[in-house]
Homo-oligomer: A and B are copies of this chain.
Amino acid sequence: MKQLKLEHGGNLYEACKKYDLERKELLDFSANINPLGIPEVLKEQIINSLDQLMDYPDPNCCELRENISKYVGVPTFSIIAGNGASEIIFLLFRVLGLKHVTIPAPCFSEYAKAAEYWDAEVDYFEMQEADNFNLDIEELKHYLKPNTQCVFICNPNNPTSCIISKEDLIDLLDFCKKTNRYLIIDEAFIELTLGQQYNSMVTLIKDYSNLFIIRAFTKILAIPGLRLGYGIGEESVIGRMWQQKLTWSVNTFACNVGNSLEYLTEYFEKTRIWLANESEWIYNELCQLGCFKVFKPNTNFVLLKILNNKSKNSCTSMELTAFELIELMAKKGILIRNASNFKYLGDSFVRVAIKDRANNVRLIQAFKAVMGSD
């Protein structure tokens, strides 16, 4: 049997079992979900479409694509829908025949998992802690090997919460075009950045056939349980992805999500206001704890490095590993993400989501209690 382990954030079933807690006793800071929760219009839609489950979902997701097309402003033939971003990533390796890819790391692990599945070689380009894990585009260009077919970029990046400027990305995109490489940008968190659509590279799809963008409604609409991701790319790539994809992998409720998008203006506005306030607030609070090196967040999560007692600024009298901190926090009913299994991150890194104020206060208080600074 597969070893069951907390490989990703948000594995609450395992966490509850491990810490002997009921789901409702656990506050989840390990998955980075919009704390405004599922939009009401989406819940109503599910309730009103229960009987639609008796039909097969549209295998071609035609209406969903039309709705996404309006939402992101690209033609329907540029859009593939999938069972979360994971299916899109998986399909990309198959359709583009990727055998040599470069992944700047630390980074989301599903690209490497798909690479392993498809026997593709991965070169990891290390982003430096000294640079706060910001990507050095020039260094990356020099690093790419002749046989590298594509570069995976997660923007904003998980788990570092770094964002790359559009100018830098266009620079890299031009370089990739010139050197005959794909640039694949995962924008799963793009709506959860200040600047939002401006940060997205979606509008460049029409000009660059070597650009592919991965997106999902998982984070912004708080629906990881529903499974809905999508990809935006060049028509022939998208066409081949439709041919290769698992029939009916997008369920009926996920297909219907598109119908809600036009009613979500207020929800998106509220999200913007929450994010602007909370990311600033929690960053300052975490810095004041003095127990962490806090990496400035550009989206709805924060990477933290535990300062041990040899560090000047540490507030703790003990040396804590990420694992130990997580155990202590779990005993307080708070689940945070062990970030030590991200490549190039040692066992002193954790990641926390940014939630609403009341919950963020609980997080800070728990850190104080656990790390001895209150």
Chain A positions 198-253 with a Cβ under 8 Å from a chain B Cβ: 222-227, 235, 238-239, 242-244, 246-249, 251-253
A260 to B342, CA, bound (A): 38
What is the distance, in angstroms, from A46's C-beta to the closest C-beta of chain B?
A: 6
Q: Which of A59-67, A154-162, A300-308 contacts B (4 or more CB under 8 A)?
A: A59-67
Residue of B nearest to A82 (CB): B246
Residue of B nearest to A238 (CB): B1
Max chain B Cβ within 10 angstroms of own Cβ: one of A2, A47, A90 = A2
Contact assessment for B225 and A252 in the assembled complex, using a CB-CB cutoff below 8 Å: yes
Q: Which B residues lie within 8 Å of A227 (CB)? A: 57, 248-249, 251
Q: Max chain B CB contacts within 10 Å: which of A46, A63, A224, A254?
A: A224
Which of the residues B13, B57, B225, B242 comes within 8 Å of A53, measured between beta carbons? B225
Which residues of chain B come closer than 8 Å to A46, judged between CB atoms?
A: 46, 50
How many copies of this chain sit in the oligomeric assembly? 2
- Whether B31 lies near A56 (C-beta < 8 A) is yes
Residue of B nearest to A228 (CB): B251
Q: Who on chain B is nearest to A254 by CB?
A: B251
Give the residue among A1, A12, A28, A38 with the most B Cβ atoms within 10 A. A1
Q: A23 to B10, alpha carbons, bound, how many Å?
A: 38
- Asked if A54 lies at the interface with its beta carbon under 8 angstroms from chain B, I say yes
Q: Bound state CA distance, A129 and B70, in angstroms?
A: 50
Complex contact B77–A55 (CB within 8 A): no
Given contacts A46-B46, A243-B2, contact A8 B59 (CB under 8 A): yes
For the complex, is A191 an interface residue (Cβ under 8 Å from B)?
A: no
Return the contact of A246 from the options B87, B226, B247 (Cβ within 8 A): B87
Residues of chain B contacted by A63 (CB below 8 angstroms)? 13
Check A222–B77 contact: CB distance below 8 A: no
Q: How far is the CB of A78 from chain B (nearest CB, A)?
A: 10
B11 touches A59 (CB 8 A): yes
A2 touching B224 by the CB < 8 A rule?
Answer: no
Q: Is A347 an interface residue (CB 8 A)?
A: no
| Chain B: minimal CB distance from A194 (Å) | 23
The smallest beta-carbon distance between A204 and chain B, in angstroms, is: 21
Tell yes or no: A309 within 8 A of B by CB: no
A311 to B93, CA, bound (A): 53
Please name 18 further chain A to chain B contacts, defined as beta carbons within 8 Å, in addition to the given A12-B55, A55-B225, A227-B249, sorted by A numbering.
Answer: A1-B77, A4-B62, A11-B56, A12-B58, A13-B58, A14-B60, A28-B55, A31-B56, A33-B54, A37-B51, A37-B54, A38-B53, A47-B50, A53-B224, A55-B224, A84-B247, A86-B246, A251-B254
Which 6 pairs show the lowest CB-CB distances between chains A and B? A225-B252, A53-B225, A13-B58, A10-B56, A2-B242, A56-B224
- What are 18 A-B pairs at a CB distance below 8 A? A8-B59, A10-B55, A13-B62, A31-B55, A37-B51, A37-B54, A38-B54, A53-B224, A55-B224, A84-B247, A84-B249, A86-B246, A86-B248, A225-B252, A227-B248, A227-B251, A249-B249, A251-B253
